[in-house]
Amino acid sequence: MSYKVTIADIAKELNTTAATVSRALNNHPAISDETKHRVAEAAERLHYKPNKIASSLRSGKSFSIGVIIPSAEINFFGSVVHGIENLANINGYNVLIYQTNESRDFEVKGLETFLSARVDGILASIAKETSDYSHFIDIKQRGIPIVFFDRANDDLGISSVVVDDYRGGYLATEHLIEQGYRRIAHISGPQHIKIFNDRLKGYMGALQAHNIKVDFDLVYAGDVSIEAGKAAIKHMMELPHPPDAVFAVEDFTALGAIKELKDRNIKIPEQFGVIGFANELFGEHITPSLSTIDQQTVNMGKESFRLLLELINTNKSKAGKEAKLQKVVLKPVPIFRQSSAKR
Q: Residue 25 CB, nearest distance to DNA (Å)?
A: 6
Question: What string marks each residue from 265 to 304 as x (binds a second copy by CB under 8 A) or -?
Answer: ----------------xx--xxx-----------------
Q: How far is the CB of 123 from a second copy (least distance, A)?
A: 14
227 lines the binding site for a second copy (CB under 8 A): no
Size of the site for DNA (CB under 7 A): 29
Q: By CB under 7 A, name the one of 16, 113, 225, 314 that touches DNA.
A: 16
Binding a second copy by CB under 8 A: which of 35, 94, 197, 314? 94
Residue 59 interacting with DNA (CB under 7 A): yes
Q: Which one of the spans 24-32, 166-174, 212-220, 319-327 is the region binding DNA (CB under 7 A)? A: 24-32
26 binds, among a second copy, DNA, none (CB under 5 to 8 A by kind): DNA
Contacting residue, 6, 56, 103, 338, with a second copy by CB under 8 A: 56
257-283: b (≥16 Cβ within 10 Å) or e: bbebbeeeebebbeebbbbbbbbbeeb
Q: Binding marks (x or -) toward a second copy, 74..93, rule CB under 8 A?
A: -x--xx-xx--xx--x----
Residue 64 lies near DNA (rule: CB under 7 A): no
- Shortest Å distance, C-beta 145 to DNA: 18
Cβ–Cβ under 8 Å, residues 80 and 150:
yes
- CA Rg value for the chain: 26
> With contact defined as beta carbons under 8 Å apart, do 329 and 165 qualify?
no
Q: At closest approach, how far in Å is the CB of 188 from DNA?
A: 46
Indicate the angle between helix axes 226-236 and 251-263, nearest 10 degrees: 50
Q: 60: buried, middle or exposed (CB in 10 Å: 19+, 13-18, 0-12)?
A: exposed
Looking only at residues 129 through 148 of this chain, which bind a second copy when binding is defined by CB under 8 A? 142-144
Do 5 and 46 form a contact (C-beta atoms < 8 A)?
yes
Q: Which of 15, 30, 44, 116 binds a second copy (CB under 8 A)?
A: 116
Q: Which does 100 bind (CB under 5 to 8 A by kind): DNA, a second copy, none?
A: none
Residue 287 sits in the site that holds DNA (CB under 7 A): no
225, interface contact from DNA, a second copy, none, CB < 5-8 Å by kind:
none
Phi, psi of 277 (to 5 degrees): -160, 125
Q: Give the count of residues interacting with a second copy (CB under 8 A).
A: 44
* By the rule CB under 8 A, 335 interacts with a second copy: no
Q: How far is the CB of 82 from DNA (least distance, A)?
A: 29
Cα-based torsion angle of the residue sequence 76, 129, 236, 343 in order, rounded to the nearest 10 degrees: -20
Quick one: what does residue 75 bind among DNA, a second copy, none, with the CB cut-off 5 to 8 Å set by partner type?
a second copy
Residue in 8, 137, 221, 325 binding DNA, rule: CB under 7 A: 8
What span, in angstroms and rounded, lies between the C-alpha atoms of 203 and 216?
Answer: 12
Rule CB under 7 A: which residues touch DNA? 3-4, 6-8, 15-20, 22-23, 25-26, 28-32, 34-35, 50-51, 54-55, 57-59
